[in-house]
Structure 1
Amino acid sequence: MSLAAFFLALALSSAHAVQPDEIMADPAKESRARDLSRELRCMVCQNQSIDDSEAPLARDLRLLVRERIAAGDSDAQVMDFLVARYGEFVLLKPRLTSHTLLLWLLPPFALVGGGLALWMHNRRRTKSAADQDESLFKLSAEEEARLERLIAAEPPPEKVV
């Protein structure tokens, strides 16, 4: 089996869990229902959309979405209805509100803080390495005095022509 055939089979096997009896007759409404289902979290599976989940609760939510669409609700009204009924957790991508602000801002702050910590650590390490290298070539007062005595006692080298 070739690699392309494997990935095609994998894509088809992970097809959506929507059952044939759930599909709406109007393709435009079905498309809206599928789009909304991809944005809603399965409360059982938790990291799957209700469009992908085969859990009975996910099926109930898919049917509820289709029921609300058939009743004439807009996408925002359907989402608002489900959030009012199940809470913000039902959304795979939470809305930016005052009580989800920390959820949205914590990752960028953590990333910036981590980058800053790495930069400071690298600066300290570089500075300490430079200080250590400098101390390797620095002579003590006793060594400098001994070196001066050796230089003064040694005659200058003769030039060879």
Structure 2
Amino acid sequence: MARDVRGRAPARSRPAIQKAALAVAAVFLLIGVLGFVPGFTTHYGDLAFAGHRSEAKLIGVFQVSVLHNLLHLVFGLAGLVLARKVSGARLFLAGGGAVYLGIWLYGFGIDRHTAANFVPFNDADNWLHLFLGFGMLVLGLLLSNDVGTGGRLDTPMDRP
């Protein structure tokens, strides 16, 4: 194996899908932390643990609660762990995208002034969930075409 001047093995570059998963996970962690920062979260005094009565809004737009922020943090941490492997990065992006599309459908279909809106969601959240769902799904499916699949199906394993 070739070594650099200091005798170290060259750094291995991560596949694009792992880089994308790490970036998405980092954004979720950042958003989760910023949801607890007064000033970045407007009406911080109205931040409730859960439910539609939480009037706190991330950057004055996205309705948040303590539960909502904690979910972002957990999702971001899961993404960091899963992004360590190609298959995990694919699962985080494609599976997470499908989850976010489900969350969008849920937020779209519920009455926002009832206990069913326990996270809570507003219109801005719903549009963001739709964008995130499609974006993550596309990244998870398109960036993984040549990575971790074992090769093309028409190439026999026992011959070059």
Whether TM exceeds 0.5 here: the answer is no
User: Which structure would you say has the larger RCO, counting Cα contacts within 8 Å and 6 or more residues apart?
Assistant: 2
Larger gyration radius, structure 1 or structure 2: 1
